[in-house]
Amino acid sequence: MLRVSEGRSTIVAVRRFATVSEVEALESFRRDNPLCKEKFSSVIGDYDFDEPVGCCVQNPSGNLCRERHKRGWVALLNDGTSTYLGGRCAKSKFDADTVLRKSIATYQNAARRRTRLNRLYELHAERSQRVAAARRSDELLSAIRERVEQSVVGLGPKILGRLRHSAAMGTTPVYADLISVKKYIDEDGSPQQERTVVLRVIGTLAGLGLLTEGPYLSTRAMIRKVVNAFAQVELLGDRAKTSEIEALAAQMDSQSQVDIRLNELEDLESQFERNDWSLLWLLSSDHGEQKKAARFALAKSGEGAGLDRIKSWLSAEGRRHAIAHGADRIALK
């Protein structure tokens, strides 16, 4: 059971009238009952009709305003009878009146609290399903992380370190120096060569941020917020502020944001899985790491490879990139 209730505002009965007959069924209601500041006691409800009703504010001349409003207040008079007070007239003709203004404000606050509380009770009633959904999200998140970590097993620490260091959620360029050598005979007739080195983007890798803590920590914090909100709501006292109730209900209801985030991470994971793993060896000039990266790339394409195959693959890849960029060879940073 929740302890939080309507609190002090229970002294104001919140009642919304949706039809004329609901108001006219009130024992206190009198048709064409004139309302003036001196006779006003309190607001006992608000109305929101499809058809407008005539306002019963009494003009100085003694006539009723009769302006037709679809929205307004049901006002209680000092003599115990009730009448219509049009929404616009309440503002334009009574705004200077503190008693009426206070009464409307109190009523509106009570109505707001009632709405927020209703939402809180609804959410609390779905507690077990909602907490279970949050916990399922936590398992999905752990599974993404586990798959991503498993998928890079076999890479050396340097290349893996560079992948983790990039931390980008978007794409990360992979660079290499491309070397061209132009041979020529100089004015003295001796052979010379001119070497040019250009840094080029060879390809890109996507979703490397999944190799870092960041996305998991922030998503887990979102999940924890949902679960914690369901624990906190039990602690809400009778006098909890309406703003607290509203904030807590928003947290209890924030699973949809978790779902959106998990979808984003799953999209990112599929981009990550589709990466061109043949680029990884370009991330280190360490031969041991390059060989591991070559074995890794070959394994990703379903090929188990011995050392000879790895060596020939590396030199073929180097040549392939050099040719693709019109250079003689590739050199790594």
Provide the minimum distance between the beta carbon of 86 and Zn ion in the complex, in angstroms, as a whole number: 4
Is residue 90 a contact residue for Zn ion (CB under 5 A)?
no
Interface segment toward Zn ion; rule CB under 5 A; list 13-21, 50-58, 266-274, 287-295: 50-58
Provide the minimum distance between the beta carbon of 46 and Zn ion in the complex, in angstroms, as a whole number: 15
Interface with Zn ion (CB under 5 A), residue from 12, 43, 53, 57: 57
Provide the minimum distance between the beta carbon of 69 and Zn ion in the complex, in angstroms, as a whole number: 7
Across 260-291, b (16+ Cβ under 10 Å) vs e yields: ebbeebeebbebbeebebbbbbbbbebeebbb
Interface with Zn ion (CB under 5 A), residue from 12, 65, 77, 206: 65
Is residue 53 a contact residue for Zn ion (CB under 5 A)?
no
Interface segment toward Zn ion; rule CB under 5 A; list 52-60, 185-193, 240-248, 290-298: 52-60
Interface segment toward Zn ion; rule CB under 5 A; list 86-94, 132-140, 193-201, 320-328: 86-94
Phi/psi of residue 312, each to 5°?
Answer: -70, -35
Rounded distance, CA 273 to CA 300, Å?
Answer: 10
Provide the minimum distance between the beta carbon of 70 and Zn ion in the complex, in angstroms, as a whole number: 13
Provide the minimum distance between the beta carbon of 111 and Zn ion in the complex, in angstroms, as a whole number: 21
Is residue 89 a contact residue for Zn ion (CB under 5 A)?
yes
Provide the minimum distance between the beta carbon of 42 and Zn ion in the complex, in angstroms, as a whole number: 18
Output 38 or 259, the one with its CB closest to Zn ion: 38
Provide the minimum distance between the beta carbon of 75 and Zn ion in the complex, in angstroms, as a whole number: 11
Is residue 67 a contact residue for Zn ion (CB under 5 A)?
yes
Q: Compute how many residues bind Zn ion; rule: CB under 5 A.
A: 6
Is residue 100 a contact residue for Zn ion (CB under 5 A)?
no
List the interface residues with Zn ion, window 212-251 (CB under 5 A).
none
Interface positions with Zn ion (CB under 5 A): 55, 57, 65, 67, 86, 89
